[in-house]
A and B are shown apart, each in its own frame.
Chain A
Amino acid sequence: SQTIHQWPATLVQPVGSPLSLECTVEGTSNPNLYWYRQAAGRGLQLLFYSVGIGQISSEVPQNLSASRPQDRQFILSSKKLLLSDSGFYLCAWMRGRVLNEQFFGPGTRLTVL
């Protein structure tokens, strides 16, 4: 069966510090991978998605970036965090377009102080 991991689970960082959130998927190959941010317990904002190694599509221009160094690894980064980067970050995967739904990781709660 497939599983998706995210770490860390929680993170408190000062403004201006760098960020690296990691997401890995097990039990599948060549998944589509997604990063979402959920602010204030509300809707999901798609930040980035990737259909393959090294392929990143950005949905919202901001100080975040994403990378996919391996088939089942997706990393969300920032060089300098802003207060507005606080939120709950969710990683998700989808098996191309064969299976239609996305499966989500447990999320990372980021607080920028």
Chain B
Amino acid sequence: AQTVTQSQPEMSVQEAETVTLSCTYDTSESDYYLFWYKQPPSRQMILVIRQEAYKQQNATENRFSVNFQKAAKSFSLKISDSQLGDAAMYFCAYRSARDDKIIFGKGTRLHILP
């Protein structure tokens, strides 16, 4: 069965600094998708970034980028120039191209220090 592991329950970063959130996953599939979702205090889940496994190029969205290492089954999220509004719970997620379900990690709570 596929699993998603986020080994950092909580992290803190100084405002304007860079932080990297870790995620590893386990799968025997070759075609799949990976996601990072953000859940701020409002609890609204927001998609931050996504990566297709067949793409070698790492996805980027403004200050958010990923380091996708397919062989290592690693999918980390880098947040540059951290802002107070980045404070949230971040979830890593995986979906096989053959499946209708998305599997979520347990989340990393990110604190931004002013």
Contact = CB atoms under 8 A, between A and B. Distances in A.
B43 A88 contact: yes
A106 B50 CA distance: 21
B95 interface: yes
B89 interface: yes
B101 A49 contact: yes
Contacts of B33: 100-101
Interface stretch (B60-68, B71-79, B104-112): B104-112
B29 to A, nearest CB: 13
Chain B: number of interface residues, binned into ranges: 20 to 34
A16 B18 CA distance: 49
A44 interface: yes
A100 B50 contact: yes
B16 interface: no
Contact of B106 (A42, A90, A94, A100): A42
Closest 8 CB pairs of A and B: A104-B45, A43-B106, A44-B104, A100-B33, A101-B47, A107-B43, A32-B100, A102-B102
Interface of A: 32, 34, 41-44, 46, 49, 51, 59, 88, 90, 92, 94, 96-97, 100-104, 106-107
